[in-house]
Amino acid sequence: MAKRQTFADKVAKIKGGGAAQCPKCGEVLSVVKIWQAEEAPSTGRQRMVEKIVKVCKCNSSEVFG
């Protein structure tokens, strides 16, 4: 049986006990799924493309526009 995760375990994980950190600002990175419309090269039609991006406060304006 798996060990239950406590609130203290969750806080420790968020504060850097296993979460990835930004090399520029040291903030904990959040993983975000972004859907973008791109043109398919073979047909020329629009299709939706899913991208998974790691975001922090220093690159959020680049990712979200």
Question: Into how many domains does the chain fold?
Answer: 1
Neighbours of 53 (CB within 10 A): 14
Query: Does residue 38 lie in a domain region?
Result: yes
Query: Does residue 25 lie in a domain region?
Result: yes
Per-residue pLDDT, 47: 93
Helix (H, G, I), strand (E, B) or coil at 31: strand
- Look up the pTM and report it: 0.54
Per-residue pLDDT, 18: 60
Per-residue pLDDT, 39: 92
Query: Does residue 3 lie in a domain region?
Result: no
Residue 18, burial from CB neighbour count under 10 angstroms (0-12, 13-18, 19+): exposed
Per-residue pLDDT, 49: 92
Q: How many helices (H) and strands (E) does the chain have?
A: 2, 2
Domain that holds residue 29: 8-64
Q: What would the pLDDT profile of 16-65 be if each residue is shown by its tens digit? A: 556 678 888 888 888 899 999 999 888 889 999 999 988 988 888 888 87
Does 14 have pLDDT greater than 80?
Answer: no
Q: Return the amino acid letter for 37.
A: A
